[in-house]
Amino acid sequence: MEIKAENYRKNVAISLTASVVVFVLVLIFATPRVLNNDDFIIHGITSGAYGMPSAITVHTNVILAYLLTVLQRVVPVLNWFSAVEILILFFAFFLFSLLIFDKSRNFRGFLSVLILQLSLAPHFYIELHNSKLLPLVSFCLMFSIFHFSCRKRRFPVVIGIIVAVLSSFIRLNAFLIGAAVAAAVILPHLIRDGKTHDGFSVTEIIKAKKIPITILSFTAATVFALSFVDGFVVKRMEGGAEYREYNTARGIVSDFPLPDYNENIEKFNEIGISANDYALLKEWNFADLKKFDKSTLGAISDIRENRSLAEVFGDVKKEILREASLPFYQTTLIFSLLGI
């Protein structure tokens, strides 16, 4: 038992050191680039750039938004929304590195952690995009919670639950995508424990994995309960529901590439969007609330949705090729082909 405890402490120390070193190197030699326009918008809403600070954002839970408004008052020069995203990433990579070491303490495990930290972590730290990072984060967190609850390791489980709930505050739908992938990976482990001489037994699964099932269920229940609280609070606030709807419409426009103005000039003219207005949209400038009201933003979104299937697949292809061309993914692929 003492040897196992000592090995576990070494795993924590190595994983934490690797995570901190990569994190510090990124902070020193790189500047985080916020790719998702929502990061700018949410920072603007919670800091009061559009008027009074507000806790009702595009898709952020009102609990986190309240916290962000307080932090913005304390240190107004910092984009606290992006800072929270980076910290969530840090803990997700730390826990997953610890999981790798816990499962494989040989050179192969050490090399796998180096690949994770040196190739993937800097990319996600630098190119923040919450709809991309949250599926990765939720997968790492939920799978780590399952693994360490099976091993009865309290420290990583508690961290995993706290960070999982916090990350679900940012964009619940994106979080659930990663959680679903984690569930698909966890399911075979549960099925294996449910096999008996007579076939398959759910009772055996519950007996073998009672603790992890309970902890994962508690985490899921907490996430959904706090999501319900968010909806309840927003509806009770004066003008809250309308404000959330408007911010959602604004987020739908800013999250995706705008349809080409010249190709859709007649449609833009019909809804009163001139070339100058289009230029403002390209710069994510929504300050003119009368010009860019909810109905106008919805009409702009409709123009994009009415594109042909070929145009949609073309945009998806460009995004995939852009991501695949990044050296971080290429490095990961090379090491994967070497049998890591």
pLDDT of residue 266: 83
Domain co-membership, 164 together with 101: yes
* C-alpha torsion 313→317→323→327, nearest 10: 170
pLDDT digits (tens, 9 = 90+) for 46-71: 666 555 556 666 677 888 888 888 88
Question: How many structural domains does the chain have?
Answer: 2
Consecutive H or E run containing 43: helix 37-47
Residue 196: helix, strand or coil by DSSP?
strand
45 and 144 share one domain: yes
Number of neighbouring beta carbons within 10 Å of residue 335: 16
pTM, two decimal places: 0.73
Which pLDDT score is estimated for 340?
A: 40
Same domain, yes or no: 34 and 127: yes
Q: What is the pLDDT of residue 337?
A: 47
Of 196, 222, 238, the residue that ends a domain is: 238
Identify the bridge partners of residue 195 per DSSP, sorted by sequence position.
200
Assigned domain for 12 exists: yes
Q: Answer yes or no: do 194 and 289 share one domain.
A: no
User: Is residue 104 one of the residues assigned to a domain?
Assistant: yes
Q: Does residue 143 contact residue 197 with C-beta atoms inside 8 Å? A: no
308 and 278 in a common domain: yes
Considering only the C-alpha atoms of the chain, give the largest distance between any 2 of them, rounded to a whole number of Å: 74
Phi, psi (degrees; rounded to nearest 5) at 6: -65, -40
Q: Are 12 and 133 part of one and the same domain?
A: yes
Q: Kindly state whether residue 115 falls inside one of the protein's structural domains.
A: yes
Where in the sequence is the domain holding 257, given as residue range(s)? Answer: 241-320
Say if residue 216 is in the same domain as residue 307: no
**Domain final residue pick, 221, 238, 255:** 238
Half-sphere exposure of 132 (CA within 13 A, CB side): 19
Q: DSSP characters for 75-111?
A: STTS-HHHHHHHHHHHHHHHHHHHHHHHH--SHHHHH
**Within a domain: residue 207?**
yes
CA–CA dist 271, 291 (Å, integer): 10
**CA atoms in the 13 A half-sphere facing the CB of 103:** 15
In a domain, 139, yes or no: yes
Same domain, 216 and 268: no
Type of residue numbered 328: F
Residue 339 in domain = no
Q: What confidence score (pLDDT) does residue 220 get?
A: 93
Residues 135 and 214 occupy one common structural domain: yes
CA distances from 129 to 32, 33, 135, 136, 246 (A): 10, 9, 11, 11, 21
Which residue would you say has higher pLDDT here, 278 or 7? 278
Query: Out of 6-10, 266-270, 332-336, which region has the weakest mean confidence (pLDDT)?
Result: 332-336
Structure tokens at 219: 């985490």
* Winning range, highest mean pLDDT, from 106-110, 184-188, 220-224, 236-240: 220-224
Residue 338, domain member (yes or no) = no
Q: Domain for residue 333, yes or no? A: no
- Per-residue pLDDT tens digits for 87-139: 888 898 888 888 887 777 666 666 666 666 666 677 677 666 666 678 888 88
Q: Note whether 153 and 96 are same-domain residues.
A: yes
Closest CA to 69 of 43, 39, 36: 43
User: Which SS3 state, helix, strand or coil, does residue 247 take?
Assistant: helix
The residue that leads in pLDDT, 284 or 291, is 291
Q: Does residue 178 share a domain with residue 123?
A: yes
Cα separation of 255 and 252, whole Å? 5
131 and 195 assigned to the same domain:
yes
pLDDT tens digits along 231-266:
888 788 776 777 777 777 777 776 667 777 887 888
Percent with pLDDT over 90 in the chain: 7
Domain end, chosen from 191, 212, 238, is at: 238
Look at residues 263, 213, 243, 210 and name the one whose alpha carbon lies nearest to residue 60: 243
Q: Is residue 159 predicted with pLDDT exceeding 80?
A: yes
**Burial of residue 72 (number of CB atoms within 10 Å: 0-12, 13-18, 19+):** buried
Cα distances from 203 to residues 17, 97, 185, 280, 323, in angstroms, run 41, 32, 20, 60, 44
What dihedral do alpha carbons 313, 125, 93, 163 form, nearest 10°?
A: -90
pLDDT score of 200:
64
297-326 per-position pLDDT tens digit: 888 877 766 655 556 566 656 656 665 565
